[in-house]
Amino acid sequence: MMKLKSKRFCRGSFRFGNGGNGVKGGEKGCGNNNNNNNNISEIKWELRPGGMLVQRRETSGSSVGEGMITIRVSNVSQCHDVSIEATSTFGELKMILSLITSLEPREQRLLFKGKERGDDEYLHMVGVKDKDKVLLLEDPAIKEMKKLHRLAGAQQIGTPYCTISV
């Protein structure tokens, strides 16, 4: 039968020793003076975009949500390859696309897997991976407004934009 010691928990990062059965070890800054300091590792924490606090994974390769990814953004007439952090939002992607396409972010609509995505949605949370395709469309309401402004501007100058016969 194995006897387990109770652990005191405190705020901060915890350290656990790897002394055979995993029970020995102490917490950093909690007053537990255990002299078994070999093989002690500190647990690192990270805050996920959803607000959840989780233990950071130590991986050799990149996993979902880490590193740079390349997204193929296709418009009606053009196709662009954009490199962006996997943990970025669609709003940040729109900012990058505004430099490439000369469409302001409010004029853009981004579709991924058949759904329009909001500016506050994270790429990796939705499932965007390296070399995935995103469709870029111009917002039809703003496109129509631009057309009306051009029409009104042409009529104010005095050049007939179109003629209406009754």
Asked whether residue 165 is assigned to any structural domain, the reply reads no
Range with lowest mean pLDDT among 13-22, 114-123, 149-158: 13-22
Instruction: Say whether both 31 and 93 belong to one domain.
Output: no
pLDDT digits (tens, 9 = 90+) for 79-134: 999 999 999 999 999 999 999 888 899 999 999 999 999 999 999 999 999 999 99
> What pLDDT is stored for residue 1 in this prediction?
53
Statement to judge: residues 41 and 79 lie in one domain: no
CATH of the domain at 80: 3.10.20.90
Residue 40 lies in a domain: yes
161 falls within a domain: no
Does 14 score more than 70 pLDDT? Answer: no
pLDDT given at position 27:
41
Is the pLDDT confidence value at 75 over 60? yes
89 and 134 part of one domain: yes
In a domain, 7, yes or no: no
The domain of 29 spans 14-45
Number of helical (H) and strand (E) elements in the chain, helices listed first: 3, 9
Give one word for 76, left, alpha or beta, with left for phi > 0 and alpha for psi -120 to 50: alpha
28 with 80, same domain: the answer is no
Structure tokens at 95: 């900012």
Q: Model confidence at 156, in pLDDT bands (50, 70, 90)?
A: low
Beta-sheet strands, E only, within 33-120: 41-42, 45-47, 53-55, 68-74, 79-85, 108-112, 115-116
Residue keyed to tokens 């990814």: 69
Residue 77 lies inside a defined structural domain of this protein: yes
Count of the separate structural domains present in the chain? 2
Whether residue 90 lies inside any domain: the answer is yes
Establish if 160 belongs to a structural domain.
no
The C-alpha R_g of the chain, in whole angstroms, comes to 28
Q: Which helix (H) or strand (E) holds 70?
A: strand 68-74
- Note the pLDDT tens digit of each residue in 26-63: 444 444 445 555 556 677 888 777 778 888 776 545 44
Residues 113 and 77 in one domain: yes
Q: Do 135 and 72 fall into the same domain?
A: yes
